Amino acid sequence: MYRREFLRAGVAGVAGITLGNGLSFGKPLAGANDRIVLALIGCGGRGTDCIINCCKTNDQVVIKTVCDVNRSKLAQAAERIEKEFGYRPGTTEEMRRIFDDKEVDAVWIATPEHWHMLAAIWACQAGKDVYVEKNLSVNIFESRQLVEAAAKYNRIVQAGLQNRSASQGFSAREYIQSGKLGKIVTVKTYFMLGGNKFTEAPETPVPAWLDWDKWLGPAPYRPYSPSIVSEYGRGGWQNYWAYSGGELDDEASHTLDFTRMVLGDPPHPKSVYSWGGHYAYGGTGETPEFQTVTFEFDEYVITADGGTSCGYMQKASGEIRNDPKRFPNWRNYSARVEIYGTEGLMYLARHGGGWQVIGANDKIVAEDGAVFPDNAHQKNFIDCLRSRKKPNGDIEECHRSATLVNMGNIAYRVGNKHLSFDGKTEQFIGDKQANALARGTSRKGYEIPEKV
């Protein structure tokens, strides 16, 4: 039964449904006992698109409530859901109301990054399963605490690193583990994007459509600037360390996590070095316009190069992402991974695009195509809610991938340093400033709990 038909069945199929802010799904009738009730926290384009698609992709999945402190986006999300499914979800600006709702099985968290971990930990403590968008965290401590919360409360926590469910990831990992690529000697990842100069707009009074204090949440209080939050757009918050980790956080989080997956999920690196700055446009954002990071593992290094200074580089087109027979033009593909083995070079794409192995004389010796993995990742999440099996994007491994992003940014922030790292304690060796950034701080009333 399609979702629209299911929900319009009304009293014939579901007990207790009312519309609008009082939406209630009550107890399912016989035959509907595997229904999943979701709530959305963070009603931007990505979050709304994903939760709608999740309901289209999976049977008997419904959205009861949407939450945002941006009242314009909140109303827009409710309207979109009503248009898609024929019912209007409840709306709230306070996520704790969702956590207190016993009818909600799982929450979909798509806020800016500085809210991800606290919202997810609160959800676990309330007995909710969680889908949380990337990058997971703005420091190492808070995503470790979510790992602990998921284990303590026996919660399914899937990170929005959807390449974990990509078919080419499984086949690339199998190819590497077979030994056909030879011994891995070095790995290069890229996040090359175009951009422009960022300059913060002057402070203004907080607009009526925004609860600024709640938007800041765990971040330090500061006056509102329209450069940070946009009424309907994404806003410029990714230029600030308090809310994000810049493009390393936004784009490289995908390629670094996917790289770890196909390499068999190696443990934390032994050290990190980062270099970067505002050399292209000279903007005033805190996060760099370009950045290079080197991670030292036992037998190879992984590098990440990129930023907002290379507009001639391109992501894979929609046609390539959704056609398993097509591959990107690797030379100017902005998000490629290059895995160099002694027997060949593997080019790997994320979000569809597949992989190809190049041997001598530019010969393609192996390949596998793929499509954009959102549907597969969302199906995996819902399947795991029902089976209670670990999801593909389980929080434990995805925390380690998020740690790479945080390590790279910390090395940059302490002065483009080379830092040694103890993977067992998740602490930098002999650098108090780096460890302070790894621990992070939270505003009073929004603290990450020491004991979850």
- The pLDDT tens digits for 169-224 are 999 999 999 999 999 999 999 999 999 999 999 999 999 999 999 999 999 999 99
Residue 341 lies in a domain: yes
Residue 112: domain span: 3-163+375-394
Q: Whole-model pTM?
A: 0.93
Residue 152 lies in a domain: yes
| pLDDT at res. 26 | 57
Q: Are residues 309 and 178 in the same domain?
A: yes
Contact between 449 and 121 under an 8 Å Cβ cutoff? The reply is yes
Residue 452 lies in a domain: no
Q: Are residues 16 and 85 in the same domain?
A: yes
Q: Are residues 21 and 51 in the same domain?
A: yes
> What's phi and psi for 426, nearest 5 deg?
55, 45
Q: Are residues 125 and 61 in the same domain?
A: yes
pLDDT digit string, tens, across residues 104-125: 999 999 999 999 999 999 999 9
33 band by pLDDT with thresholds 50, 70 and 90: low
- Return all residues near 363 (Cβ < 8 A) that are at least 6 apart: none
Report how many domains make up the chain.
Answer: 2
Q: Read off the amino acid at residue 198.
A: F
Tokens of 24: 């209630």
CA-to-CA distance for 356 and 336, rounded, in angstroms? 11
Measured in Å, how far apart are the chain's first and last C-alpha atoms?
40
Q: Are residues 295 and 283 in the same domain?
A: yes
Residue 442 lies in a domain: no
Residue 275's CATH number: 3.30.360.10
